[in-house]
Every structure is written in structure tokens, then in C-alpha cells.
A and B are shown apart, each in its own frame.
Chain A
Amino acid sequence: MTKPIIDIRNLHVQYLTPNGPAEAVNDVSFAIQPGEVFGLAGESGCGKSTIAGAILRTLRAPAVITGGEILFEGRDILSMSSDQIEEFRWKHVAMVFQGAMNSLNPVITIGSQITDALHRHTTISKQDAWQRAGDLLETVGIERDRVTAYPHELSGGMRQRAVIAIAIALKPPLLIMDEPTTALDVVVQRDILQQISQLKEVLGLSILFITHDMSLLVEFCDRIGIMYGGQLVEMAPAQMIFKTPIHPYTQGLLSSFAPLKGPKVKLTGIPGSPPSLINAPHTCRFEPRCTVCNKAQCHDKPQMREVLPDHWVATHGGMPLPEGAKV
């Protein structure tokens, strides 16, 4: 096995609230290999974006990283000094934020927002920087002469592309995308995803892709991790998760999406609502909404185990496993 580009081990993040600490990320471990697209899925408040924040060390109080380590090519991000992290961000890991179209500065041209990043992190001449800004826009499918455009002159999809151009300006090996296409139309969404997968091939990017849209994830990612209530509950290659989901939550999540083909079947979704993370139990957090497992055995602490080759599930005694699974 090759050395992973990023290796997250037993990460814990808490939000300190007046009612007690909320465990937004609880003992999450996963690794992303070079050139891999790793998807993180789950409903709002399950801790997906908090993990992204932890990798970039952009979490601020009341969020506190209370344990674990994040190794980027072997270096621990969590123990870096603030100077080191400054130098590390963008050059090694860049991020495309949720609602990225609105993360551009409205009173500065697209070109100067790109050159800004270049000047901050490299010693590039002014002329070269603008040249490079034009190149970057072309890579993401925007005409070169739009460097002088202001964000409001671009459509939502183009702004999203511009943000991706800024993110890849310093050729970071890892790109984090937090719901990059949620606010866009399906047609534009497909177009941008095709662009991203081309970029991935050309630049050899690894991508951490965060979204709640399961069908999009399965189509776009190599491997998927499913999160629920701050914990990683299942992790497997995309097609495996889609075809043989094991955790009851993953099954519920997949049955929340209506298919476009075939006969109409009644879907149920997942009854109930997501758990509160304050003083969350250490037993299976999905238990109150679960209709699958044997309730008598739900009170063991779930353990992340490789039940099928490369298919990891947080299981406990009461969870039914498919045939051929390692018990």
C-alpha cells in the first residue's frame, strides 16, 4: 500500500457550549491515498465540515480539537506552529467552501483575487502572476479576458469555477471541497464535476469531497465514508457502499433518494431526527432511529471493523451482517 497523502487518526473535536461539550467529531480515522477522491456524506450537523476545518486548522473557539492526529505526508498538522500552518495552507491543502460563489470579494476583480494568493505564497513577478491568473481561468473553462471581471459579472457556475481556479492556483496536492455544487443547477453541477475530474487527472489531485447528496458521491468518488452524529459509521469503495450498504444508517440514507428509472417504489427515508451531540452516548448514536438492529445488543460500544475486504463498518453485536462477513 502506498503512503497516504493524509492520514487522520482518532480525531476528536468538541464545541464547548453552555450546556456542556458537543462532540462534533468523535474518534474519526481515515486516510486518503494520492490521486484518490474520498467522499464524506451525512446529514447536516454530523461533523463533515468540522473535519475539513480541522485539517486546515481553521476551527476557532468554541471548537476545540481534543485529541487525535492528522498526518499530512507524515507531518502532524495539529502540532505545527502558526507560521508553519500559514505556509502549509493553500500550498499543500486548499479548500473550496460551501456556497463558494459567495466567498469571492465583490469589489475586487477575479484576476486580482487570484494574483493575491500567488503573491502571498510565492515570489512571482506581477506580470507573471497575471499571466498565470489567465492560465488558471482557462484551465477551469473561463475565457482568459475575464480576469478583469468582477464577481457580479459572472454567473453562479462561473463564480464557482473561479473559486476552484483560486484553490488550485498553487497546485496543492490535496483539495477539500465542501458541498461545492449544492447551490447550483443539475446541468451546471455536472459540467463542473466533469471539469474537476479532468483537473484531477491533469494535476494529480487528491480530493476530499463533502456533500449530503449520496447519488452524486457514489458517481464521483472512489471511496466513501458515511458519518452520523460525529462518528464515522461506514467506509468502503463507492460502488460497494451503493450495492451492499451494511450499516442501517447508510441503508436509510440510500433509500432516501428516489431513483430516476424503473418502477415507482415506496421509499421511507429515515424516521426521527438527528441526535443532539451534547453528552452523546458512547453506544451506537443511531440506535433511537434504527429499525434494523437487535435492540438488546445495541448498548455495546460500536467498533470500526473490516467486515468485508476494504469495507469498514462500525458494528456491534446486534447488527445483522451480510453473508461472508468476518464476525
Chain B
Amino acid sequence: MSEHEQEAELPILEVTNLSKHFSLGNWWKPAIFKAVNDVSFKLHKGEVLSVVGESGSGKSTLARLIARLSNPTEGRILLHGKDILAQEPRKASLAYRRQVQMIFQDPFGSLSPTHPIGYHIERPLQIHKLAQSKDLEREVATLLETVGLHPPADVAERYPFQMSGGQRQRVAIARALAVQPDIILADEPTSMLDVSIRMEVLNLIEKLKTERGIGFLYITHDLASARYVGDRTMVMYAGNVVEEGESCALMENPAHPYTQLLLASVPDPSSGLSTGETTAKAEGTRKPPNRDKGCPFASRCPMRMSICEEKMPRRTSLAANHFVRCHLHEADPPKPA
């Protein structure tokens, strides 16, 4: 495979073999839950990487690891080429937190009800010493303008309860923008919003990406919006990245059986319900598959082969920037059993 043009440029964020394992069970019956397992990806300037997967697939844990809200079990996080975990093993530095910001799912819970909107945006500016106190008001107004909240002077004095969900989510975005981050981790920013308002938030992400060159990690379970805003899409299943590629190409030609299942399940108004016959089991096991060996999707996979139970598939490259982890696509495919 030829090196893609973008590969030459240093990515803002590079994650290699990142894992987060939680210990379960007790002293005599120890068990490990692999919430995130061996995840690697790169995020470039001005790029949106969508992360999709069902609930419990480790999407949010991944964002929390990158935001350094919890420490990974193993793996490396490189920000502008610097190994962050080696330099700041215990706690993220102020500089790191300035560069990596996060937007949470619930705009009703992420703003303090006792402070006006202006306060929420002033605080990061003060903490990171990015504005002098005489400039604060002006900075806040500019930020509120950027996210489309008018008139800024009036909005800054309002309290969160006086605003709708969409407006609050935009305040959360303005707060993240205040410190001029390089990366914003958006954890399902639209799932709590009304359908008619979701598009505004997605278009704002698009605008910030092009105008400011911010890299976004957009976490969602909605494939259509992942395709709409994401340049690339990464599909996660049970903590593992099973497929990654350019959003449009990936959804056009999904290679992994799980991606195929997800895509077949999305309601499609142009066809009836009957056409979407799914081959894989919707719910294979009650517990998330978390075995030491083999492919995590094996128990639900319609194309299961004997090797799937034995060995975790490698990352196989299908085309430029399109990877899949499935034995079906490995160079020397074993015959179905």
C-alpha cells in the first residue's frame, strides 16, 4: 500500500495499542473486563474521526482515556509526537488539558445550575491564564458569537435552566473552545438533543473543523451522523476496533460482518422493513463477549470459521486508509469450516 499523503504530516494525536482493563470478580475468582483493547488510530489537523458502536463497546471509555480522566492499562498516547503517558504518568498537565478538551453527552448535567453561562466560559480562560480580567467579557462574547448564541451579552447573564438543550450544548462547545484546543472529544454530543436541533450542532462541528483546524473525535451510535460529519469512521465492538476507513467508502462497502450488521439495521425510509433481513444474531449472549482468545464477534457472526474461536484477527489493510480486523479478509483466508 502506498503511503497516503496525510501520513507524511505529523498527526495531532496518535494512539497506539491503548487498552483499559477493569478487574472484576473477587479474590478467588478473578476476572478481567477489557473495556478498551488494543486500540490504535491517528487523528490529523482539521479532521473528524467518528467512533461508532453499540452501547458498552468502549467508545466512551476511549474518550475518557484520551482526556486522561482515567489511566490506561497499557498503550501510548502521542500528542504532537510526544509520549504523554511517559511524560505525565500520574495526572495530565495543564498544557495537555488545554490542548485536549471534551464535550459530554448530557448538556443538562455538564453545566453548573448555580452559575450563569458567562462564568462557565470565563473559568477556563482564567485557569489557563489565557485572558486578562479586563478582556474576559469581550472574550466570552466572541466565544458565544462563534457558537451562534445571540446576543452574547444577554446570553452570558443567563443561567443554564433558562436555555434549551441545543443552546446548552453550544455553551459546552464554547467552553471547550475557550482554551483554543487542538482536539475536541465529543462524546455523543447530539443524542440528548431534539432531532430538529441536532443538525445545528453537527454543522457547528463541521465549521470549527474547517475554520480552526480542530481535530474531533466524534463518538456516536448513529451511523448516519457519523457519516455526515466524520471524514473517517472507526467501528468498535466489545472494546476492539473492528474496522476503520473513510466514512463514505466504509459505509458503501462494509467489510466486517459487524459493520454490515449495523448498517443493515439502520432504518431506511426508502425500503420497507422486510428487506432488512439480518443474518447475525441481534443478541448473542447476555454478557459482553470478553474472551482471552479469538474474535470477540465470533459468537454472533454469521460467517464464523473455526479459526475465529482460536485467534484474534490481525489488522488487514483493504485499501488506502481502510482497515478491518476479520479473518475473512486476511491475506491467506482459511476455508469456512
Contacting residues of chain B (95-112) with chain A, CB-CB under 8 angstroms: none
Q: Please tell me which one of the listed residues A219, A270, A274 contacts residue B273 in the complex, with CB atoms under 8 A apart.
A: A219
Q: A186, A191, A260: which contacts B283 (Cβ < 8 A)?
A: A191
Cα of A271 to Cα of B197 in the assembled complex, Å: 7
Q: In the complex, A264→B203 CA distance in Å?
A: 13
Residues of chain A with a CB closer than 8 A to B280's CB: 187
B262 at the interface (CB under 8 A from A): yes
Cα distance, A22 to B142, chains bound together (Å): 36
**Neighbouring B residues of A185 by C-beta, 8 Å:** 54-55, 221, 265
CA distance A193 to B225 in the complex (A): 22
Q: Judge whether A212 and B283 touch: CB under 8 Å.
A: no
A267 interface residue per 8 A CB criterion: yes
Interface residues on A, range: 35 or more
Cβ A190 vs Cβ B223 within 8 A: no
B199 at the interface (CB under 8 A from A): yes
B272 in the interface (beta carbon within 8 A): yes
Q: Is the CB of B199 within 8 A of A267?
A: yes
Q: Which residue of B lies closest to A238 (CB)?
A: B269
A188 at the interface (CB under 8 A from B): yes
Chain B 54-82 residues near chain A, CB threshold 8 A: 54-55
CA distance A259 to B248 in the complex (A): 11
15 A-B residue pairs with CB within 8 Å: A43-B196, A153-B286, A157-B282, A212-B194, A215-B269, A220-B267, A238-B269, A253-B196, A258-B202, A258-B224, A260-B223, A260-B251, A260-B266, A264-B228, A270-B199
Q: Which residues of B line the A interface, CB within 8 A?
A: 54-55, 164, 166-167, 194-200, 202-203, 221, 223-225, 227-228, 248, 251-252, 261-273, 276, 278, 280, 282-283, 286
Starting from the known contacts A188-B283, A264-B227, A269-B197, 14 additional A-B residue pairs (CB-CB under 8 Å) come to A185-B55, A186-B223, A190-B265, A194-B276, A213-B267, A216-B267, A219-B268, A253-B195, A256-B196, A260-B224, A260-B251, A260-B263, A267-B199, A273-B197
Q: Chain A interface (Cβ within 8 Å of chain B)?
A: 43-44, 153-155, 157-158, 185-191, 193-194, 197, 212-216, 218-220, 238, 242, 252-253, 255-261, 264, 266-271, 273-274
